[in-house]
Amino acid sequence: MPAVVLYFQIHQPHRLRRYSVFDTCCDYFDAARNTEICRKVADKSYRPGLHLLLDQVRRHAGRFRLAFSITGTALEQLEDAAPDVVSLLQDLAATGCVEFLSETYHHSLAILRSKAEFDEQIDLHTRRIEHLFGQTPSVFRNTELIYCNDSARHISSIPGPDGLQRFAGQFAEGVDSLLEGRGTGRVFTPPGNLCGRGGHPYALLLRNHRLSDDVAFRFSNRGWREWPLTADKYARWLADAAGPVINLCMDFETFGEHQWADTGIFQFLTDLPQAFLATGTGAAFLTPSEAIAANIATATYDAPAPTSWADASRDLSPWLGNAMQVHALDEAFRLEARVKARVAEVATAGDDQSLALQILDQWRRLTTSDHFYYMSTKGAADGAVHAYFRPYESPYDAYITYMNVLEDFKRRVMA
């Protein structure tokens, strides 16, 4: 009987306002639009979903356990636009049944261009999670589950404040071609005998994309042969899955935003804990840390090239699949040294750091992966998903707006 490891991702980017080549205003982000979207998603998804989860955690007296990964950009906007949502997350943290994961504060692609910036964003995110939820994360979740052997070597070596390894393990996508016929239902480890926090092999929790996407993408599809998906049916699938762990990972916006309330998605989530716990005496929900502690990693998962959980390709093409995306990301990270030099210059001179820190924050917002996702020119099903999230008429509009902003930002930084 496998244990279920359930984690939800919450992320909201700082979307850019329409910015032409003639603009010179340093207010690059569409605050009104971002607030509107945050409040809408809070109404449709976050509030009802979190109330539901809090009720289920309390009802099952510690047997229903789960995790959240929440970006710093989402927390900033929620604190301003929907502070009661943050309070609900704090109530969940107080139950002792909810774990908060680590990730890059700005949901960035820093791991691909600057490991120093990557580490700094992890530190920023850790401090925010500690401040709001009283937890120091020990399990990592990279932006869009971007993962490879090289990144695992780096992440496993990051020290915590006590000098020990910061992380016991991390999540990654279970890519079929890399699993070579094996299932995702065990705790894996990267090649190279990497150690995590506690001295055990560095753990990889691989997302079961089929079972996760049955809920996230297929739940309301009346053409799917398994429609309608009930909690009892899904619980039986979970109980019959091979291995000691099942990692279910999905956007929390699945509930109420991507799958609307009238599909029955909230009732499904309400019924699922009891339905699964009733499948057998060994049925259990575990937090990621608990799953890692209970299962020493023995199987090796070898990912020489970067993978992700996005698009059918499960690679970096959602953000770096065309020349526009590559150019935009390269130009953004080309400014890193100058931006951080400005902050250091102000600190050394003893001047007011507010302007320099504003510039650093703006630059980091510009590294958020969503900006490059909007520039994708993919077609078919992948292209439809990109278009659903894109706040522009085309990927070319996304690129032009981004580069107009970046050019003005560069002018200010270099002044």
Average pLDDT over residues 33-47: 98
pLDDT above 90: residue 349: no
Average pLDDT over residues 41-64: 97
CA–CA distance, 371 with 402 (Å, rounded to integer) = 7
pLDDT digits over 105-163, tens only?
999 999 999 999 999 999 999 999 999 999 999 999 999 999 999 999 999 999 988 88
Q: pLDDT tier at 363 (50, 70, 90 boundaries)?
A: very high
Contact 243, 174 (CB under 8 A): no
Query: Left, alpha or beta for 62 (phi > 0: left; psi -120 to 50: alpha)?
Result: left
Which phi and psi angles does 330 have, rounded to 5°? -60, -45
- What are the structural domains of the chain? 3-300 (3.20.110.20), 319-414 (no CATH)
Residue 170: per-residue pLDDT: 98
What mean pLDDT, rounded, does the chain reach?
A: 95
CA–CA distance, 164 with 248 (Å, rounded to integer) = 29
Which residues does 294 contact at the CB level (< 8 Å), separation at least 6?
A: 3, 244, 286
Residue 191: per-residue pLDDT: 97
**Which of 62, 50, 58, 64 is CA-nearest to residue 5?**
64
Q: pLDDT tier at 350 (50, 70, 90 boundaries)?
A: low
Contact 400, 20 (CB under 8 A): no
* Residues tagged active-site: 144
Residue 153: per-residue pLDDT: 97
Average pLDDT over residues 325-344: 94
Contact 14, 361 (CB under 8 A): no
Cis peptide before 83, with omega less than 30 degrees from 0?
no
Q: pLDDT tier at 73 (50, 70, 90 boundaries)?
A: very high
pLDDT digits over 275-285, tens only?
999 998 889 99
